[in-house]
Structure 1
């Protein structure tokens, strides 16, 4: 028997004696994708976005190669997991703008967004970083930002928000809140509420004194971009 004959017959020694391996079907792929997204949602909620892609694959019960066939980058996976949360973030501005009291709308929005961070460590991370590889998520972020600008304008026109407050102060608050949530964890799960209450009170008129200049928009964007790179670089390196 020639090598060509052996290859044709297969490992059983006779043609057709071994059952062909089952190829994955579209339904198999859809099930795997759903399992990966559900697993990533649980892992990121618990551990934040620094959780590795390998830990997501283990949670989903699939190989790392299968995960990367569905999501070639961590940003793609993050976008699939959190777009609905970012949509809820944008909807929060709509509810706040519907409040007839501009200050209540403004303060209530900040409390709601910070509560969303507290409920999901992964989402707490997302609100402090830029993810250009997840365009649907970034589109929702832009929508929420435009709504927040209107909340600021209304609260200032109503005489309750100090004039030197800027939208960049919200970014700084979200960064601070994410840090508190990461540091306190289950040990002091409500500590963030005190931070947020302090900050909201500090935003009110009358101002107790002048503030240092806020960071430039470009500087904050760079900080958010670096934050996103820090959570994707380790997984990228492991694939090489």
Structure 2
């Protein structure tokens, strides 16, 4: 039986095509963005699953953005962010290069929007900027979102974590964020260090990298190399426990 999210997504897809937004899906389901991310990982992952189950005909109804972003995902997965070209993306999308340039003025514009569409940044930032911070609650939500995102985007995650410095710099410029999500996580951890909750003999940057590393290991490395299926509830609890054991200030 289809769940409420699938029914809502199918309805939106039939009405306006694959270009519907998560805001529209949120309004249709009445669920929060955090809940949507926990349950579907990303809109792209949801559409692909519905297509695989023959509940929608994705190839026949793709709008330009969805079509181009699907092509960009494949090309970036093969060549990386820095080396891929507009010509490669246009060819993969099955459109002319002139058509692609009419929709995106250059490669940076295209990839910048592609990166923005991929990540659950807004939900994570809302969690990190909560007016009522609760360390365990906030970290649990971030870990759940991170696990789903990493699992559904293993191809892109592998590229990001194997990047050379020049490509990392290029990707950072694409994101166009004055303060990155990672930087906000560092600031969030620093606040809890100042409040005496987290240890101060290790930098907040190192604590953030430790948490990021655990997310990668559980969402990508375990399923890919250890044949250990992702279990969101189990793995979230394990990561949260390990991180807090090492990061909390000793009594």
Q: Structure 1 length as normaliser, TM-score?
A: 0.49
Q: Which has the higher contact order (CA 8 A, sep 6+)?
A: 1
Q: Structure 2 length as normaliser, TM-score?
A: 0.48
Larger gyration radius, structure 1 or structure 2: 1
